[in-house]
Amino acid sequence: MMAILNRKASLIVLAANFAVVVIVLVFHSHTSYHKEQLHLCPSVHVGVTWINDIKATESMTAEEIYRYLHWTNSTSCQTAIDFGLRILKNDGVIAPDGYTAVCLDQSISPVFNNCLVYSFGIHNQWTFDEDMADFGCHVYSFDPSMNVGNHNRSERIHFYDIGLDGKNRLHPTTGWKMRTASSIYHMLTSQHGATTIIDVLKMDIEFSEWDAIPQMLQSGFLTDKVKQLAVEIHFNPDDPLEAFRHRVQILRNLEATSQNRGAGGFVRFSSRPNPWLKRPLKVLGGREDYTGLELAWYNSKYY
């Protein structure tokens, strides 16, 4: 989340710090949303306020894609709480950082003192992991880029020098040890058990999300093992429209509700741009929008 600041980023943050958990009132988009699912997609709806599930991804414009990315389901979670939030001051600019939204509605909430968290991509910023550990969760933290070996950071925070990817391999340029979510889970069964559900899986892994998520959908790992998922998604300022569409299709598969293998049934409850990543974008003809957004979902099977 660290990046060059944009002085024009205007944010209103209403934050109240209660011990470890910082509660932020999240603005919900009021975009109207059509209930029809993918298979009901009449093209006559083109031009209405909302696009998702109406238009095929391969014909979405950049504007529609950004509307889809910024959209969130305003009724899906009553109590979305930010864990790990800190206010960073940098170059005279003040903005939030380190946060991940977790839904604490009764049926979906991690159980205090009895919960499991996987946290991918630490970048030496432990605030989320520490807040989840304060909530009583066992937190498995992964980052191959820190030059630190496996260790227990505290009684409840367990660090591994591994990256999340779509396949088991050594990273082609850096040589880091990369693993699929299933392989990592398998490796850790002696620690957390072979059937334990991951209450929150967070990833901020600099583009590897686009390989990891499809693999986790195809293998059934997300549907079977994960209750809540939070991802910082990434784009490059000069990515072509095709790259955006390809990635939006991955998110739509995650949110699809059909019985097909690869349809995740995940319900979005939060979408917020990373305030540090506002850039002029080629697909928008140079207009500014965000190259990083933090999205969060829960597995509808548990709600």
150 vs 174 by CB, closer to ligand NAG: 150
> Using CA atoms, how far apart are residues 142 and 129, in angstroms rounded to an integer?
11
- Plot region of 210 (φ>0 → left; ψ -120 to 50 → alpha; else → beta): alpha
Question: In angstroms, what is the minimal distance from the CB of 76 to ligand NAG?
Answer: 3
Question: In angstroms, what is the minimal distance from the CB of 268 to ligand NAG?
Answer: 6
Question: In angstroms, what is the minimal distance from the CB of 75 to ligand NAG?
Answer: 4
Closest CA to 65 of 243, 217, 277, 269: 243
Question: In angstroms, what is the minimal distance from the CB of 162 to ligand NAG?
Answer: 12
Question: In angstroms, what is the minimal distance from the CB of 269 to ligand NAG?
Answer: 8
Radius of gyration of the chain (CA): 19
CB closest to ligand NAG, residue no: 76
82 vs 255 by CB, closer to ligand NAG: 255
SS3 content of the chain, % helix, strand, coil (to 5): 25, 30, 45
Question: In angstroms, what is the minimal distance from the CB of 191 to ligand NAG?
Answer: 6
- Which stretches of the chain bind ligand NAG, using CB under 6 A? 33, 73, 75-76, 150-152, 158, 191, 267-268
43 vs 150 by CB, closer to ligand NAG: 150
75 vs 173 by CB, closer to ligand NAG: 75
Strands (E), 52-179: 80-83, 86-90, 93-97, 100-103, 115-120, 137-142, 151-152, 157-160, 163-164, 169-170, 177-179
Name the helix (H) or strand (E) containing 63: helix 62-70
Question: In angstroms, what is the minimal distance from the CB of 37 to ligand NAG?
Answer: 8
Task: Classify strands 163-164 and 177-179 as parallel, antiparallel or unpaired.
Answer: parallel
76 vs 180 by CB, closer to ligand NAG: 76
Residue pointed to by tokens 């990083």? 292
5 vs 122 by CB, closer to ligand NAG: 122
Exposed, middle or buried: residue 85 (CB in 10 Å: 0-12, 13-18, 19+)? buried
191 vs 236 by CB, closer to ligand NAG: 191
* Angle of CA points 90, 94, 96, to nearest 5°: 105
103 vs 200 by CB, closer to ligand NAG: 103
Question: In angstroms, what is the minimal distance from the CB of 139 to ligand NAG?
Answer: 12
Residue pointed to by tokens 């209750």? 227
Burial 209-240 (b: 16+ CB within 10 A, else e): bbbbbbbbbebebbbebbbbbbbbbbbeeebe
